[in-house]
Amino acid sequence: MSAVDARKEFLTVSGIKVEVERRGKGKPLLLLHGEEAYEPEAAFVDDLAKRFEVIIPSPPGFGSSERPLWLTDPHDLAFVILDIVRQLKLTDVVVVGFSVGGWIAAEMATIDDSFMSKLVLVAPVGVKLGSPTDRDIADVWLLHPEKVAKLKWHDPEKGKRDFTKMPDDKIAIVARNTETTARFCWEPYMHNPKLKHRLHRITRPTMFVWGEQDGIVKVDPYGKGYAALVPNGKLSVIGNAGHLPHIEQPEAFMKVLNGFI
Amino acid sequence: MESWYFTEMPYPHLPPMEKLDNMRVAIPNRIYDPRIGADLYHRYLDEYLEADDVGLNMMVNEHHQTATCLDTCAPLNLAILARQSRKGRLMILGNPVANRGDPVRIAEEMAMIDVMSRGRLEAGFVRGVPYEIPAANTNPTQTLERVWEGIDLVTRAWKSHDEPFNYEGRFFHRRLVNVWPRTWQQPHPMIWVTGSSDLPNIKKVAEHGFVFATFLQPHTKVKEMFDAYRSAHKDTGLPGGGGVAYMPLVFVADNEREAEEGARELTWYLHVKTEPQFGNPPGYVDVATNVQALKGAFAGRSAAMRARGMEYLRDEGIMCYGTPDQVVKQIKSLYDKVGGFDHLLMMMQAGHMSNKRTVSNIRMFAKEVMPQIKDLPRSKSRPWIETLPPAAQTEAAE
C-alpha cells in the first residue's frame, strides 16, 4: 500500500510518547482507528488525504505508542488525544472514529468539541443501552473465533489475515493492539456507564455509520439508540457490510462520508 | 523430600466427550446431580484424611465453573481438613488473589486455618489459569500485577501487630487493616507461588524466599524453571526456608497391569476439552508469545502430547506409575534430571478413579515409596518448628 506523503512522528503529551501519522494536505481530519487498526492500511484513507490533512494518532498502547500504567479506559485515552489536538493547535477538525476509536471520539466530544467541525462515528461502541442481562455488544472474547468472524463481517473472508506471511514486528503490533483493547475495554465490557449521560453535551453535527449486517453491535437497537442520544445525531446504514462497513463497502462508505463532511 | 496428596475433586459423570464443546467454563450445570456431588465431596475429603493417616501432607486447589474441579472454594475444604486431619501439613495452591479481589479476607481465612491447625498451613497464591478469567472477569492483561499487589497486602496484614494500617495501591484500597486472628507461624506461613514458563517471575518468587511450584511439565522445562529459581533464591526467614515443588500424576500398585490401569484413569485430566478462546484470553501471555500463537506455533500441541501416550508422559516425568520400586526409580530419576526438588506434589486421583483404587494408591505410596524418597536431600529446608512462638515450640517438642 502506497501512502501518499505519509509523515510519522512521536509527540509527547501528558508525559506519554504517542505515535502520530499525517498524510496529505488541507483541512485537518482526525482519524481514530478501530481496535484492530485496519483503517491506516485502507485505500479510502489515501482518498481522504487528497482533500484533507489526515492525522492518525495511535492511542496509548496501540501501534508504537507508550502505555503507562495509570491509563485504565478509553475516557483516559480521550484526554490524551485532546492533548494532541491542543499541541498541534488543530481547529475546525473533522473527527472520524471507528468502533473503539469511535468510542474515544465520543468521549472526546463530550469533554470538548469546540475544535471539531463534524463528528463521524462508524459502528462505535462505548455505551450500554439494555438491561444487565442484555448483551448490547457481542463478547468477542467469549465466543469461538469463527463465530466472532461471522458476527463481524458480512463476508468473513475479508477479515482473514495471513500471519504466516507477515513479518514478526507487524504481528507484534496486532498482538499488542489486542492486548491494549482488553486492558482498556475489559470491564465494564466495551462501554463507559457514564458516557450515555454525557452525550447530550455534543453540539456538532454527528453522523453514525453502520453496516446493516453488523453482528457485534446491531444497527437496531444499538445504533439507533446510540444516535438518538446525540442531539444532532443522524444514522446512515450501509448494506452488505458488517462491523467494518468502510472496509467491506469502501465506495458506499465514502459516498456517505463525502455527503456529510 | 516432602510428599503431598492432591485431587481436583472432579465430577466425572458427564455426557460422552464428543457431545460437549467444553468441559470447563461454559458447561451447563444441568448435568450436575447434587446427590452424587454430595457423596463425592465426602468421599474426597475421606481420602485426604486417609492420606493424613499414612503420613502424607495435603494439598488443595480451586477452579470455577468446571466439571474438572468441584473444589470451588479451597479455604472451605482446607478448614475442614484443619479440623479433621491430625498431623499432615495443609497447603492451598492456591488462593486466586488476582481473581478474588479481596486480599484482606484471604489473610483472615488463612490466619484462621493456620491457628486452627496449630501452624500446619502453607499458603499458596496463584494467578489463575486462563480458564479462570471468564468466571472471575478479571482483566487478563493484569492478573500478574494483581497477584503481587495482593501478596504484598496479605503479608503486610499478617505482619502488622501493633496498629491498623491503610493501603492504597493500584488495585486494592483499604482504609483500616487489622487482621484477627494473627497467624500461628511467624513471621507468617510460607507462601507458595505457581508458574509454568515466565522465568523473570520465577526469579521474583525466589527473591522473596517463597516456594515455587509447577505442574505437569516435561522435565527439561522443569529444570529450566528450577534453575532460574535456584539462581535467584534468598532465604527471607520464612518457615521452611523456600524451595521448589513439582507435580506429576502418580499411581502405584503391586503389579504393572493394575498400575497401568490406574495411571490411564489419571490421564482423564489431560483429555479435558475446552474451546480455544478460553485457553488464551487477550493479554494473558506476553506479546512475543502471542506472536508465536498467531503464527500457529502452538496449534495442536496438546493433541500431539495426548497422541504420544502414557510411556511418553512417563519418560517426560509428567506421570510416574508402576510398582513401588519402579515409581521410586522414576522419582529419583526425575529428581536428578531437574537438579533436585523439595516437594513432590502428587495428583493421585482423577476422573472416574474409584475410592478403592485411590485409597490403595495412597496406602501403597506411603508404605512402599515414601520411605525410599523421604531422605532425598532438600535444597532449602528449615524445620517448621523453629518458626513457632517459643511456648508453642516447647509444646510441639513434647
- Distance, in Å, from the CA atom of A90 to the CA atom of A71, rounded to the nearest integer, reads 24
| Facing A179 at nearest CB: one of B276, B283, B296 | B283
- Distance, in Å, from the CA atom of B145 to the CA atom of B204, rounded to the nearest integer, reads 12
Q: pLDDT for B181-238, tens place per residue?
A: 999 999 999 999 999 989 999 999 999 999 999 999 999 999 999 999 999 999 999 9
Neighbours of A175 (CB within 10 A): 24
Which residues are paired to A11 by β-bridges? A18
**A10 in B contact zone (CB under 8 Å):** no
> Would you say residue B380 has pLDDT above 80?
no
**A132 in B contact zone (CB under 8 Å):** no
Identify the pLDDT of residue A1.
Answer: 45
> Would you say residue B73 has pLDDT above 80?
yes
Residue numbers in B near A145 (CB within 8 A): 276-277
Average pLDDT by consecutive 10-residue portion of chain A (261 residues)? Answer: 75 97 96 96 94 98 97 98 98 98 98 98 98 97 94 91 92 97 98 98 98 98 98 96 97 97 93
- Distance, in Å, from the CA atom of B9 to the CA atom of B355, rounded to the nearest integer, reads 12
> Would you say residue B339 has pLDDT above 70?
yes
The predicted model gives B364-387 an average pLDDT of 86
The residue of chain A nearest to residue B137, with distances taken between CA atoms, is A187
**A142 in B contact zone (CB under 8 Å):** yes
> Would you say residue B386 has pLDDT above 70?
no
Q: Strand, helix or coil at A126? A: strand
Q: Which of A69, A141, A166 to mutate to test the interface with B (most CBs of B within 10 A)?
A: A141
Which residues are paired to A28 by β-bridges? A53
Identify the pLDDT of residue A2.
Answer: 47
| Facing B295 at nearest CB: one of A143, A144, A171 | A171
| Facing A164 at nearest CB: one of B134, B288, B296 | B296
Q: How far is A180 from chain B (nearest CA, A)?
A: 8
Residue numbers in B near A176 (CB within 8 A): 287
Q: Which of B21, B141, B278, B295 to mutate to test the interface with A (most CBs of A within 10 A)?
A: B141
Q: pLDDT for B276-322, tens place per residue?
A: 889 899 999 999 999 999 998 887 777 777 778 899 999 999 999 99
| Facing B170 at nearest CB: one of A69, A179, A186 | A69
Q: How many CB pairs under 8 A join A and B?
A: 56
Buried b (16+ CB within 10 A) or exposed e, A105-121: bbbbbbeebebbbbbbb
DSSP string across A46-99: HHHHTTEEEEEE--TTSTT----TT--SHHHHHHHHHHHHHHTT--SEEEEEET
Distances (CA, A) of B348 to A164, B8, B151, B319: 42, 10, 29, 10
Identify the pLDDT of residue A5.
Answer: 73
Q: pLDDT for B11-48, tens place per residue?
A: 999 998 788 888 888 899 999 999 999 999 999 999 99
Identify the pLDDT of residue B180.
Answer: 97
CATH number of B2-397: 3.20.20.30
Q: Strand, helix or coil at A6? A: strand
Question: First-to-last CA distance in chain B?
Answer: 24
Distances (CA, A) of A2 to A23, A58, A106, B269: 11, 19, 30, 52
Q: Which domains does chain A have, with CATH numbers?
A: 6-260 (3.40.50.1820)
Number of Cα atoms under 13 Å in the Cβ half of residue A206: 28
C-alpha cell at B321: 506409575
Residues 6+ apart with CB under 8 A from B88: B51, B52, B55, B56, B57, B58, B120
Q: Which of B277, B278, B289 to mutate to test the interface with A (most CBs of A within 10 A)?
A: B277
Q: Which of B14-23, B64-73, B169-178, B213-222 has the lowest mean pLDDT?
A: B14-23
Identify the pLDDT of residue A200.
Answer: 98
Strand bridging mode B243-247 / B173-177:
unpaired
- Distance, in Å, from the CA atom of B106 to the CA atom of B150, rounded to the nearest integer, reads 9
The three-state (H, E, C) secondary structure of B185-221, written as one string: CCCCCCEEEECCCCHHHHHHHHHCCCEEEEECCCHHH
Residue numbers in A near B275 (CB within 8 A): 144
The mean pLDDT of chain B is 93
Q: Strand, helix or coil at B242? A: coil
Q: In what order do the strands lie in the sheet with A6-13?
A: A6-13, A16-23, A52-57, A27-32, A93-98, A116-122, A206-211, A233-238
**A186 in B contact zone (CB under 8 Å):** yes
pLDDT band per the 50, 70, 90 thresholds, residue B271: confident
Q: Which of A170, A180, A183 to mutate to test the interface with B (most CBs of B within 10 A)?
A: A183
- Distance, in Å, from the CA atom of B146 to the CA atom of B172, rounded to the nearest integer, reads 9
C-alpha cell at B251: 499411581
